[in-house]
Structure 1
């Protein structure tokens, strides 16, 4: 009787329901746990990927800049334009790319460069009649403040190509001195230049025993400058024309990177 009773209990509908529920839990719970672990791994991988693609901080950069401007009012006896040396300095920041650009694989991580510059010119113009109602030569002093945006198109190891766009505010002062008549005149004006160019730079390779060598390089810059507003409209003075720059270049970002790396190594040695 007891065995029959036990058999009847095992075969009862209530026990069958419990057994079915237990089998369901055993067969369906592990996939849920695995899926939750996989989801956690995916979220971890996504967070890791977000950290690797995070933009780098801005890098400060500065350099001297010597250019040769071809002014329309500065010509030789044959009527050809004579280059005028312009000295200046500019400083700004390197902005890292927000997305991957295959052409930017060398040098500092930068998509473009932006900043400000300052230039000055002191020139004696031996060409009478530039200023209105004058027949003597003049001495010109120009001071130009600019803001620039320079887009990088190619950065392969030590070689880079970019296109700078500049807009400036210039102040001019012309001094006319007539020693025989003991007469002098000073004319002042304001002009607005806009320039578009193409720049190519090469950084010297990095040598272990001579680290400062890769702080320097060569730079070639050429472009065209437009004058949106002339300083003295009634004169023959006109700054519109080509400009070119060829010479050595100093890369401040390479210097700061070496100094930062040297400080980190020094801290590690102390620890």
Structure 2
């Protein structure tokens, strides 16, 4: 990648990390080690930063030691923007999985009409968090880690909930980072999917961000999730900026 495309890709990479912060992190020679607890690998992995980075061989050993001290496995996130670690980790027996896409859409021409049924708040309420916990299967550790992440958010944000017949039928949240808005945690209970609920909350968040000055929107989605990829294509996320995957020793 070169020029403006690469700049946009790195801007999206940084914005996505800011939209899902880790309460604990370590900077190590151009690498960012994140440690949030819970099951989410994005906030419990080693990530490359823009610019010069230390040689991977020495970095891998120091990262392994740090995560071992936390009682966690060393997980490395490999974006196509900076694949330095990929080959050295493969030689060490680290398997790869979790391929994900980083998608972008321009917000120019976004319809301005608000959706009165979508509630936007600067922080997640108890009902919003309960809906998110349901998506994670009610796992307490995941719920605690997610709450800690939301409390660590610094940038402008909005949490969206679509209610119907007294209950929440879709949630998502957005974080505004410079001219980009990041869309996160889009969820609809399985029996209610396919009814346009997720499109409405994402649309409301994009309109909120556009009103705050955002020029574009980005998000990250698992490559092997056809329903989610179809949803985001329908919402105008037609540009793929880059992909990433994870490497970890216990992946075949």
Q: TM bucket by the smaller chain?
A: under 0.3
Q: Which has the larger radius of gyration?
A: 1
User: Normalising by the residue count of structure 1, what TM-score does the alignment of the two structures yield?
Assistant: 0.21
Report the structure, 1 or 2, having the larger strand content.
1
User: Normalising by the residue count of structure 2, what TM-score does the alignment of the two structures yield?
Assistant: 0.22
